[in-house]
Structure 1
C-alpha cells in the first residue's frame, strides 16, 4: 500500500532505467512493508521551480498506512534525500517530501480496502 510519487523538472531521459526498481526497494525497506505492495511513479519533464530557480528539483509524496511519524519521517527523509541525490543528482535542499499517513479504510485495492 505504500505509494511514492516523485515529480521533477528533469527530462525523462535523465531518469536512470533502474530508478523505479531501486526506489521500490528503498520504500519497502524504510517502511518495513512487503515490496509487493509498493507503487512508485515518476513524473519527469514537469514545469516546476524551487526557490525561484528552475535548477533540477523535485517534489515527493509518500503515502503509507502507518510507519510514518515525527521520528520515522526524519529517518525516511534522510534515506530518500540520499537516494535521490545518488540516482538523480538532486540535492536534498532542492526537494520536499510530503508524508501522508493513511487510514486502512482510505486505501483501496483489488475491489476492497485494507480495512476489509
Structure 2
C-alpha cells in the first residue's frame, strides 16, 4: 500500500486523470507494487520554493512497506520517477525533490486494523 503525496506550484490542469493514471503505473512498477494498491494525492497550486526559486517544481513523498527501505532501492525508484516527472511535466531535475519513507506493518491502517494483523 504505497502512499504518494505530490505537492506542486503547478496548476491543477497539469495533473489530469491521464497524468494520474500514468503516474500510478510508473510508480507502481518502480516500487514493484500492484497498481490497485497505490494511494496518490496531488496538491497543485501551492506556494513553493525550491533552492531559492518559485519556478515550477515538485516535492514528492513516497511511503511504502518494504519498497523504500534501502539506498539501492530508492536510487532505482528515484531514477524512474524523475524520468517520468521531467518528461511529463517539462521540469528539470533540480526542480524536483523526493522523500522516501520506509513504513512498517504496524504503521499502516487498513480494514479497521493495521497491516500487522492482516
Q: TM-score range by the shorter chain?
A: over 0.9
Match of 1:20 in 2: 20
CA distance in 1 between counterparts of 2:13 and 2:67 reads: 33
TM-score by structure 1 length?
0.94
Q: Write the deviation string for residues 10-47 of structure 1: whole angstroms up to 9, x where unpaired.
A: 01122233111111111211111111110111110000
Q: SS of the counterpart of 2:116?
A: coil
TM-score by structure 2 length?
0.93
Q: Structure 2: which 5+ residue stretches go unaligned?
A: none
1:81 paired to 2:112: no
CA distance in 1 between counterparts of 2:76 and 2:43 reads: 24
Match of 2:56 in 1: 56
CA distance in 1 between counterparts of 2:34 and 2:100 reads: 19
Q: Any conservation in 2 of the 1:81–1:91 contact (CA below 8 Å)?
A: no
Match of 1:4 in 2: 4
CA RMSD, Structure 1 to Structure 2 (Å):
1.1
CA distance in 2 between counterparts of 1:74 and 1:20 reads: 22
CA distance in 1 between counterparts of 2:86 and 2:5 reads: 16
Count of aligned positions? 116
Structure 1 runs of 4+ with >2 Å offset: 14-17
Match of 1:98 in 2: 99
1:107 paired to 2:108: yes
CA distance in 1 between counterparts of 2:92 and 2:17 reads: 20
Q: Any conservation in 2 of the 1:2–1:27 contact (CA below 8 Å)?
A: no
